[in-house]
């Protein structure tokens, strides 16, 4: 079977595509990739070790009138690009994992008689996947589907969200320091200025526990130097970087994760059984990060706080209590891993093998 995987734009789309591709190849299937050509797509292409095709599609939702008009005019060109890719690649199935490039490919694949599927990584489906759900042969969802968003429920399979094997191996082969309490802070693939600023405000309180607390902080490129300098000046033990390709190692080190609530983050928390404080990005489409975070919070697996309500003082009160009584974090971590679906990529592959 030749599977063409289409994903682009964000780590939440691209990294599951890499994970799924690895598993398809491990099952002796052929894989090719299509992305959008953005910087993060090029990084994912490098990680895959393959040459990707690139399809330039424009955003149609959440943009101004002129941008939307330009996007509409580029749709025919994107469909032609998609058709050319399909003719050249000759896939048996096209799987869309999110991003603007997935729409033209899945639509054109269905039009020419190629089997199609989509994977929705969030609790609330994105604009593109809502449209594609009408034509896709299968709809794989990372989390239990919300009925009001999906009309074609017979096609839905709760598969979970694939994680790259190298990330899992990093976790399994990395140490955990039982003598220190380690905070892992990050804001997704691009960082989060709000979280960076909040952590800097916490420095005076963290200094009280500097013999016990370690920090791992992924800042994004803009704030890396400032955050690193501030921690060093305060004498805190901290590993600071803009981004990391060793998330498995970082999750293994962490006792508590402070982050946004993107799909990949929530998936990783479930996979690795980590307690978390989630501050959803307030401008995410359809507030899907709030829904992702609620899924964990309602299971007793995370503390969910809106950004408008989050402050360094509020967080410190909670963190100080956990430092003194870590049993609550241990229970949260246990609840997180109880949501795990074993090997999501295999669930998807086996289903594709049935109908292709």
**Residue 115: what are its φ and ψ, rounded to 5°?**
-65, 145
Tell me: do 265 and 298 sit in the same domain: yes
pLDDT, position 132? 93
Tell me: do 153 and 52 sit in the same domain: yes
Residue 331 has pLDDT above 90, yes or no: yes
Confidence band, pLDDT 50/70/90 cuts, at residue 325 = confident
Closest alpha carbon to 217 in 204, 198, 205, 261: 198
Tell me: do 156 and 171 sit in the same domain: no
Strand, coil or helix: 349:
helix
Average pLDDT, the chain: 90
Residue 24 has pLDDT above 90, yes or no: yes
Count of domains for the chain = 2
For residue 175, the Cα-to-chain-centroid distance in whole angstroms is: 24
Tell me: do 98 and 217 sit in the same domain: no
Tell me: do 132 and 199 sit in the same domain: no
> Average pLDDT in the 226-237 region?
96
pLDDT in tens, 177-216: 888 999 999 986 555 889 999 999 999 999 999 899 999 9
Tell me: do 151 and 186 sit in the same domain: no
Tell me: do 311 and 350 sit in the same domain: no
Q: What number of other Cβ atoms are within 10 A of residue 165's Cβ?
A: 15
Confidence band, pLDDT 50/70/90 cuts, at residue 65 = very low
Q: Domain range spanning residue 75?
A: 2-160+341-355
Tell me: do 122 and 187 sit in the same domain: no
Tell me: do 208 and 272 sit in the same domain: yes
Tell me: do 183 and 328 sit in the same domain: yes
In terms of residues, how long is the chain? Answer: 356
pLDDT, position 276? 97
Tell me: do 218 and 276 sit in the same domain: yes
Residue 340 DSSP one-character state = P
pTM: 0.90
The residues pairing with 217 across neighbouring beta strands, listed in sequence order, are 185, 240
Where residue 108 sits, what CATH number does that domain have? Answer: 3.40.50.2000
pLDDT in tens, 26-57: 999 999 999 988 888 888 999 999 999 998 76
For residue 51, the Cα-to-chain-centroid distance in whole angstroms is: 22
> Average pLDDT in the 99-126 region?
93
Tell me: do 184 and 308 sit in the same domain: yes
Q: What percent of the chain has pLDDT over 70?
A: 92
């Amino acid at each position: 079977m030749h599977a063409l995987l289409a994903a682009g734009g964000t780590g939440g789309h691209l990294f599951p595509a890499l994970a799924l591709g690895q598993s398809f190849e491990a099952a002796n299937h052929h894989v090719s990739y299509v992305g959008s050509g953005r910087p993060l797509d090029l990084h994912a292409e490098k990680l895959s070790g393959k040459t990707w095709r690139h399809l330039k599609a424009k955003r149609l939702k959440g943009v101004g009138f002129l941008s939307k008009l330009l996007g509409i005019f580029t749709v025919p060109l994107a469909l032609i690009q998609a058709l050319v890719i399909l003719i050249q690649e000759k896939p048996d199935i096209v799987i869309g994992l999110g991003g603007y490039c997935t729409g033209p490919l899945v639509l054109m694949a269905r039009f020419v008689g190629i089997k199609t599927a989509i994977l929705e990584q969030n609790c609330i489906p994105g604009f593109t996947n809502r449209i594609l759900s009408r034509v896709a042969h299968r709809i794989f969802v990372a989390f239990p589907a919300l009925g009001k968003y999906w009309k074609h429920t017979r096609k839905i399979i709760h598969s979970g969200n694939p994680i790259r094997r190298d990330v899992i191996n990093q976790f399994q082969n990395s140490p955990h320091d039982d003598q220190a309490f380690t905070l892992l802070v990050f804001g997704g693939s691009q960082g989060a200025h709000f979280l960076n600023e909040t952590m800097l405000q916490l420095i005076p309180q963290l200094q009280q526990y500097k013999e016990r607390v370690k920090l791992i902080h992924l800042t994004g490129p803009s704030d890396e130097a400032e955050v690193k300098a501030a921690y060093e000046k305060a004498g805190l033990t901290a590993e600071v970087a803009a981004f990391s390709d060793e998330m498995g190692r970082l999750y293994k080190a962490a006792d508590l994760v402070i982050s946004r609530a993107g799909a990949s983050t929530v998936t990783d928390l479930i996979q690795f059984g980590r307690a978390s404080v989630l501050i959803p990005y307030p401008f995410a489409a359809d507030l899907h990060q709030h829904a992702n975070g609620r899924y964990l919070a309602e299971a007793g697996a995370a503390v969910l706080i809106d950004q408008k309500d989050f402050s360094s003082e509020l967080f410190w009160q909670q963190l100080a209590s956990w430092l003194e009584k870590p049993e609550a974090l241990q229970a949260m971590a246990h609840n997180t891993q109880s949501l795990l679906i074993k090997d999501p990529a295999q669930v998807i592959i086996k289903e594709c093998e049935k109908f292709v």
